[in-house]
Chains A and B, each alone.
Chain A
Amino acid sequence: MTKTIIEVKNLRKDFFMGEVTVHALRGVSLEIKAGEFVAIMGTSGSGKSTMLNILGCLDKPTSGEYYLDEVAVSGLTKNELAMLRNRKLGFVFQSYNLLARTSALENVELPLLYNSKIKAKERKEIAIHALEAVGLADRMHHMPNQLSGGQQQRVAIARSLVNDPVVILADEATGNLDTRTSYEIMALFQELNSKGKTIVFVTHEPDIAKFTSKNVIFKDGHIIKQLDVVDRNDARQMIAELPAVNEYD
């Protein structure tokens, strides 16, 4: 019996904007088990990001229950939420969010700085290891502006890995990248998933969702469909099938 990593029950989120109330989530229930690679899909404005922010303990739901790795998240204080993010969660953003003029290595070390249990030497070792895992060991001392978009996203993924999180949350992580690079990132996620990482991946692109193991489709703040991906694509293979770059010459 696999462990349940994320369990939400009847989650609601309303945004109050003066006269108008936006119902971003209208009662969502979802369960994600360890080792799953879930794509949250839906049109723009359907509530995907709102959902992910709540799952990431960055935002609080208006009502509903949320258990992360068997911890009841509602009722935790701000500091406890920060601690939870530091120890149990990894984030990957659409726009990478790396610190400018800070080396790849230092960017990756960042989450561990907020964990006083980890000493400087250990911190560096873990960070180097994470960079190796995303294939950037040779770019450790590069600054973000010396890296391509795909490489920056790899650094961000390495950063999300250093605290060995129970789940990685990614919001449109391939949104700023071209097809080939997107597939490369997906290949990396698939590799991580095959090693047992649980991943929740927000996207509105169906071809990207094909790389995951389960698709959850949102519409107007509801989950309208959950389906296991039967004909799952292998990103490595897809890259090999892409037309070679020199064909455009």
Chain B
Amino acid sequence: MNFKNLIKIALNALQRNKMRAFLTMLGIIIGVASVIAMLAIGQGSKKSIQDQVSSMGSNMINVMPGGQMFGGVQMGNTSMKSLKLADIDAIRAQSTAISRISPEVRSSGQAIYGNKNTPTSIYGVNNEYLDIRKVSVKTGRKFTENEIKSAAKVCLIGKTVITELFGENADPVGKYIRFNSIPVKIIGVLTEKGQSTFGQDQDDLLIAPYTMVQKRILAIDYIQGIYASAINEQKASLAKTEVENILRAKHKIADDQDNDFEVRSQDELIKTFGSISDVLTILLGAIAGISLLVGGIGIMNIMYVSVTERTREIGLRMSIGGRGKDILMQFLTESIMISVIGGVIGILLGLGAAKGVGSIMNWPVEVMPQAVVLAFCVCTAIGVFFGWYPARKASNLDPIDALRYE
């Protein structure tokens, strides 16, 4: 029996029981659609997180005070003051892989203009920070050397704070606001960055010279973090090791002691987030895969019913010359047809669902062509695997018994 005839017979058989064929397919359709949609959503979030993190500078290195992190919670707090401005000088002097470096101190408080006020944060940094974090000044200017030295009461302002205090399209450069009780002059407006994948508003901030935030707002002599960028991405891990060694020496940490700071590089962060969303994708995919399995069992069930129902047909086919192999192929083709047609519909539906969910929920989706190809192959495999035993049963029937079957 040739391929064309097999397909024709299978299509006829499915047509004779349209509703049943459809319901059986539905299991596969739902399974495949959910696998495709879940993977698209999982991959989409992974890609968007990675894009986000690398847009912050993939050669960035970040030093935080305090020892080892444990589940995100810093242990102890005496070491929270471990970073000093002198550390920055040491790194600048000794490191070969660092091109830019900036301290960071930050405070949250109220920004006030006239009778309007809004809660926000002020970041105390130097000019290099802007390059490291990939922030730029849209209008106005950066800090002068003198402003940094003298702890001048000047700041750069983010879009959200402008909107809250001045209104959407106002130009606040040259105006004075107060942060808590301290009057600060706005010297520049930051280019908008929008929301991060983590839902954080990246434009709700003020940026001021670190000296100003240290002395006039926080009244501290330590710093709360160091941001640096390596000369290039390839040097990022060398830079990280250098920074760690320099700081250990500077802090006089013995060989058997733990760091009182933590150095993180951005590409590590990318990898961490990447692996988190990989786990998520696998989890979602596995759940969807189970529904595909259930769909496959549905096919097997219906194929058994079909073989039993059509026992006389099988007997007849054998009596007019159908070999066991022909009968096997007939039923196998039928189950493959169910699963493949279901699979194709499922793929289309899954792509549609991913797009739909993506645009309604405003989630990023990323369809991997491999996932589509894989889904198609898995469907064919399911058709063969779950169709095999029923088809085998059919082909092993004795022609007379089958013809006599009531």
Contacts and interface: CB of A to CB of B under 8 A. Distances in A.
Q: Is the interface of B mostly helix, strand, loop or mixed?
A: helix
B272 to A, nearest CB: 60
Contacts of A83: 321, 323
A86 B400 contact: no
B316 A82 contact: no
A78 B12 CA distance: 27
B77 interface: no
B5 A93 contact: no
A233 to B, nearest CB: 30
Given A100-B16, A114-B326, A116-B2, A93 B403 contact: yes
B233 interface: no
B313 interface: yes
A114 B1 contact: yes
Contacts of B323: 78-79, 82-83, 114
Interface in A216-247: none
B2 A114 contact: no
Nearest to B9: A113
A99 B324 contact: no
A138 to B, nearest CB: 23
A113 to B, nearest CB: 5
B318 interface: yes
A79 to B, nearest CB: 5
A73 interface: no
A102 B12 contact: yes
B321 A99 contact: no
Interface in B35-67: none
Contacts of A120: 4
A110 B317 CA distance: 8
Given A82-B322, A91-B320, A110-B317, 16 more contacts: A56-B319, A58-B399, A58-B403, A78-B324, A82-B318, A82-B321, A83-B323, A85-B319, A93-B403, A97-B315, A97-B316, A101-B16, A111-B321, A114-B322, A114-B326, A159-B320
Interface of A: 53, 56, 58-59, 78-79, 82-83, 85-87, 91, 93, 97, 99-102, 106, 110-111, 113-116, 120, 159, 163
14 contacts: A58-B399, A58-B400, A79-B323, A82-B318, A82-B324, A85-B320, A87-B321, A102-B12, A111-B320, A113-B1, A114-B317, A114-B321, A114-B326, A120-B4
